[in-house]
Amino acid sequence: MGSTIETMSTGVWRELFREVPNARRRLVLLLYALVGPVFTLVLCFVAVDANRMGAVAGVVALIGAGAAWLGLRKVPTNRDWVFPVAIVPTVCCGIAFYASEANGPAYLAVTGAPLAWAAVLFEAPVVWAALATALGTCLAAVTARHGFITGTANTIVFGTIFSLVAWVVHRQAQSLRSARAAIEVQAQRDRAVLEAIPDALARADAHGRFIEAHAPPGEALPVPLDEVPGHLVYDFLPADVGARMRAAIARTLESGELTTVEYAADYPGGSRSFEARIARSLPGEIVVIRRDVTERQRAVEEQRFHAALLGAMQEAVVATDLNLVVRYWSPGAERLFGWTAAEALDRPVVSLVRPGLDAQAILAFREKLLGGGIRRETSPRTRKDGATPIVETSFVVLTAADGTPVGTMGVSRDVTEVHVAEERLREALRTNEQMVVELQDALSSVRTLTGLLPMCMHCHKIRDDSGYWSRIEAYISARTDASFSHALCPECYEKHFSSG
């Protein structure tokens, strides 16, 4: 409770002294409310003896006019501060000096207070106005009571003192104001950075007790954020993780090195994984940045699964960017094309598998591929060792969530054996077709000799379809590819030429 009241009090005073018009107006009116009644009451006592109560009325009227002046200004500018800050307090001191007779020197000395006030809180024009008013008031008040020479001499003395005070105080105030402005700018930047950090961040002492905590909206926390200060870091961790965290904090405080602790914790929505980074900020104080890495670990696991899946595939999987530069080269691609992933990455894929392609052909291929004109292609590819296997590749264009192309992917397999087998099959089919034609021709020739052939029983001539008689060898030769030569069989030789 005490710390809350202290924080609220600090916030109120910080708000009062902000370098903005409305805050300055509140401060001036507060000083009017605090100092004005006291100043007037004291003046009543000293002025009664001198029978100059009109001075009291004048002071009250000036203070009221100054307050009304500020109240009527929507946004006070630099000139609006001159009357309530530089003129009203200083003239009131001059009136009190004139009205209080023997007590007057005290009021004359108090004239430096409004000047110092202006020098501390306001810009140079207000300070110079306060100085001029103080000099004028001093000259008028002293001259009215003691004559022109005394008034001039006192004004010179007081003027010198007031000028030095105003110059020194204003200069120091400006330096402090500039430093405070720089600190506020840095604080704003720090707040912006703190708000932009997507992680939970906390300060803790050497015992691990939270001093301050910050977390982005929606961050998984074991207790509400405003209840975190005062708890120990280990209060929200399993025993084994707490021991590791305690050792990490001690190591960080001793060595000053950044320490990382990874752990898992159970939440209503299930177990979540975290990474805590511990850094020493001040002696005996640490900063803990906790990042929820559940999704990252899931992504890593999925990546490992996909890598294992692609590694087990016999096909070659190659992914490129829009310029056909290799971004992924699977183990299957290493086996098929001979290039390792380290050799292939960040190189144009065409230079690896089709090195003879010229620039114009590459550009045409790229445009056609990205336009969806190439889905599957079977053609020779060049391996690292110079071999040219026949490769069948299926292409797909990789797109972002909005449909914008971001790259390409090709899945390739070696179909050389299949291609050779198909060629052999086609050659066999061509051979079979030729044999069929030849057999059909032979069959056609055989059919011309089928049926009943009229033959002379004495000369053995054969009658054709037109009624002509031809020798048997001439008939057969005309209808087949056979040719004849003459010879003697053993029986005829024995019958006709044997001498016995």
Grouping H, G, I as helix, E, B as strand and the rest as coil, residue 26 is helix
Q: How far apart are CA 314 and CA 318, in angstroms?
A: 13
Handedness of CA 323, 324, 328, 334 (dihedral sign): negative
Tens-place pLDDT, residues 318-369: 989 989 999 989 888 888 899 998 999 999 988 888 888 888 888 888 888 8
Fold of the CATH domain 200-297: Beta-Lactamase (3.30.450)
Secondary structure (3-state) at 190: helix
422's tokens: 């198909």
Q: What pLDDT score does 1 carry? A: 38
User: Which amino acid type is present at position 385?
Assistant: D
Q: Which helix (H) or strand (E) holds 493?
A: none
Please give the radius of gyration of the chain, using alpha carbons only, rounded to the nearest integer.
55
Q: How many Å apart are CA 263 and CA 238, to the nearest integer? A: 9
Cβ count within 10 A of residue 8: 9
Query: Which long-range contacts link 496-500 to residues 24+ away (Cβ below 8 Å)?
Result: none
**Separation of alpha carbons 73 and 66, rounded Å:** 11
State the DSSP H helix or E strand holding residue 394, giving kind and residue range, or none if neither. Answer: strand 390-399
Per residue in 327-342, is it b (16+ CB within 10 Å) or e — as a string? bbbbbbbbebbbbeee
- CATH fold match for the domains 200-297 and 314-414: yes
Q: How far apart are the C-alpha atoms of 327 and 147, rounded to whole Å? A: 96
CA distance 314 to 337: 12
Cα–Cα distance between 41 and 396 in angstroms, integer?
92
Question: What pLDDT shows up at residue 19?
Answer: 65
Under 8 Å between Cβ of 43 and 99: yes
Q: Distance between CA atoms of 96 and 375, rounded to whole angstroms?
A: 100
- 3-state DSSP assignment of residue 330: coil
Confidence at residue 279, expressed as pLDDT on a 0 to 100 scale: 92
The whole-number pLDDT of residue 320 equals 92
Instruction: Report the length, in residues, of the chain.
Output: 500
> Which runs of consecutive H residues, i.e. helices, occur in 50-147?
53-72, 88-99, 104-110, 112-121, 124-146
Displacement of CA 445 from its chain's centroid (Å): 86
**470 φ, ψ (degrees, to nearest 5):** -130, 155
Per-residue pLDDT of the chain (500 residues; tens, 9 = 90+): 334 444 434 444 455 456 677 888 888 888 888 888 888 888 887 766 555 778 888 888 988 888 888 888 888 887 888 888 888 888 888 888 877 776 667 777 777 778 777 777 777 888 888 888 888 877 887 787 778 887 788 778 777 877 787 787 778 777 877 877 788 788 788 777 777 777 888 889 988 898 888 888 777 777 787 888 888 888 888 888 888 989 999 999 988 889 999 888 777 777 888 888 999 988 889 998 888 888 887 877 887 877 777 677 778 889 899 899 999 898 888 888 999 989 999 999 888 888 888 888 888 888 888 888 788 888 888 898 989 888 888 888 888 888 888 889 888 888 888 878 878 888 878 887 887 777 777 666 554 555 677 878 777 777 777 777 888 777 777 776 677 777 777 777 777 776 65
- Give me the half-sphere count of Cα atoms (radius 13 Å) on the Cβ side of residue 124: 4
CB atoms within 10 A of CB 312: 10
pLDDT of residue 17: 52
* Nearest C-alpha neighbor of 337 from the set 353, 349, 348, 326: 353
Strand (E) positions, 188-335? 200-205, 210-214, 259-267, 270-282, 285-292, 316-320, 326-329
Is residue 322 within 8 A of residue 244, CB to CB? The reply is no
Domain ranges of the chain: 2-187, 200-297, 314-414, 453-500
CA distance 164 to 362: 82
What is the rounded distance in angstroms from the CA atom of residue 151 to the CA atom of residue 147? 6
Q: Which CATH number fits domain 314-414: 3.40.50.720, 3.30.450.20, 3.40.50.300, 3.40.50.620?
A: 3.30.450.20
The token duo for 298 is: 């899931």
pLDDT at 103: 67
Residue 454 carries which DSSP code? Answer: P
Say how many Å lie between the first and final Cα of the chain, rounded: 159
| Inter-residue contact 138 to 153 (CB < 8 Å) | no
